[in-house]
Amino acid sequence: MSTPAMRTLDPVPSTRSSAAVDVVTQLPGPDEVAAVAVPVAEGAEPPADLGQDSTALAAAGFTGKHGETLVLPSGGRALVAVGIGAVGDVDEASVRDLAAAFARAVPQHTRLAVELPDRDIGLSPADFARAVTEGVLLARWRFRISDSAEDQVLERLVLVTPGEHSEAVVAGVRRGEVLARAAALGRDLANCPAAVLTATRMGEVAQELGGAAGLEVDVVGKDELVEMGCGGLLGVNLGSVEEPRMVRLHYVPEGPSRGHLALVGKGIMYDSGGISLKPSDESHAQMKNDMTGAATVLAAMTALRDAGCETEVTGYLMCTDNMPSGSALKLGDVLQMRNGKTVEVLNTDTEGRLVMADALALAVELDVDAIVDIATLTGACLRALGVDVAGVMGNSSALVDQVRAAGDAVDEPVWPLPLHRRYRSQLDSPIADMTNMGGPNAGQITAALFLAEFVGDKPWAHIDIAGTAQLPEARGWRNKGATAFGSRLLVELACAFERPSGSGAGSGTGS
């Protein structure tokens, strides 16, 4: 169990302070802003206020290529030339990355400014401002157990805009702040050591932050889970000294609802593999992030009110450790799930689908319009799509399309994989309704087919973030370590949600 000293550590430090983001029409003086971004297009002369021409910049190795930065002293502060590449290639994703490049170029400065363009470059002022805000805030996010002088905490970001765009820019900034806060919260949770963020502590955090965000929060303990028949969550928890928790979150919009969406997040607070013990390697050391699905659901739902979401949303966080011990789940054991199906356990390291199955069944009972689950589920998805793109599968092409559109909008891309139903036979068991383990190939598909057994004909989509949940090095606005990929995607999905037409069965990516 976690020690009293560990209990005093804050699992969500980013929620305790945040940088001020201001919109002004005139650049403040050096005493207020210490570094200013100056965009420079490739092959073009830089703005005059940079004080250098293209020849001088080229001599310093700066040509304006996308993502290049060059820091120049000027009147007591730093001017940062930021290469934007070809003007015609600028879009919201590239602006977010460029803003992050600027923020990373001056890690010692705590007060930054970005001058927004005064002409049309293919993005609305609101979208440009939103991308800049997200890029800077997320690039400068850090999870701190202890303070470090190497990276100073960002105090203020100033966006300088022509007066006629001020109202739109303010709207874009506020939207960017909401999404950045959600991603920062998700990152805090996914990067927090497992000895600090137990299932019990996750429930406490959900109550604290969810209540402040206007959510109804219900933390379900072990005894009630037994009464509810949640055999998957209870079975995975058998080897742990930490009790399991299921957290139900409920958001109701103020006005008419666009529909009712359920979100299910895998919350394995630490995954040792159980009796099927993982090897002691780097991937094992990353298993504090095996609760990223639950982290992203909680993070997204705390942002819904401020994002103006008009969709009713119910979230389920399925939280437990997966540990080996004398009482742990054993190979060959059979679990009975919430919906009555029985599962023969052939590998205790394929535990995520077991805990999620109970929540999927509960969402079906709630009679929602659609269900989306998100989980660090399979290494097969990492092998197929790498660390930049998540996999998505489901029984409703309309819902899968909504997930893809949301991912594209926030630069958290997902790619559809087939729910190939002929592989369902790989889950057959001679003694139970199914096993929790498919064959050696297409593991991401057989995992999804397992989950499909618990959604009936409800429109459903499954997002596998096993590859995208962790980055080996910083890329653009994404930081090294646990990424909380999906936090912003789920906010976007909920805000734009449309009830899928027809039933889920037979209408999705299956074959």
Q: Retrieve residue 378's tokens.
A: 């399979």
Tell me which amino acid residue 430 is: P
Cα(445)–Cα(166) distance, rounded to whole angstroms? 48
Q: Retrieve residue 17's tokens.
A: 């302070």
Catalytic pick among 258, 353, 458, 488: 353
Residues 265 and 297: beta-carbon distance below 8 Å: yes
Q: Residue 67 CB: number of other CB atoms within 10 A?
A: 14
Residue with tokens 């020849």: 55
Cα(215)–Cα(202) distance, rounded to whole angstroms? 15
Cα(328)–Cα(360) distance, rounded to whole angstroms? 24
Q: Is 181 labeled as catalytic in the residue annotation?
A: no
Tell me which amino acid residue 467 is: G
Tell me which amino acid residue 327 is: S
Q: Retrieve residue 233's tokens.
A: 């969550």
Residues 6+ away with beta carbon under 8 Å from 63: 42, 57, 83
Catalytic pick among 156, 222, 278, 341: 278
Q: Is 266 labeled as catalytic in the residue annotation?
A: no
- Nearest CA-CA partner of 501 in 367, 416, 363, 397: 397
Cα(73)–Cα(341) distance, rounded to whole angstroms? 67
Sign of the Cα pseudo-torsion (400, 318, 352, 222, in order): negative
- Nearest CA-CA partner of 160 in 58, 47, 271: 47
Q: What are 52-59's contacts with CB under 8 Å, separation 24+?
A: 52/81, 57/81
Three state DSSP letters for 451-488:
HHCCCCCCCEEEEECCCCCEECCCECCECCEECCCCHH
Phi, psi (deg, nearest 5) at residue 180? -65, -40
Distances from the Cα of 324 to the Cα of 170, 241, 272, 340, 394, angstroms = 52, 10, 7, 26, 32
Cα(285)–Cα(308) distance, rounded to whole angstroms? 38
Residues 375 and 356: beta-carbon distance below 8 Å: yes
Residues 6+ away with beta carbon under 8 Å from 239: 274, 275, 321, 322, 323, 324, 325, 327, 328, 329
- 49's enclosing H/E stretch is none
Q: In what order do the strands lie in the sheet with 216-220?
A: 216-220, 245-251, 312-322, 260-271, 370-375, 460-464, 390-394, 414-416
Strands 245-251 and 312-322: antiparallel
Tell me which amino acid residue 355 is: V
Q: Which are the catalytic amino acids?
A: 278, 353
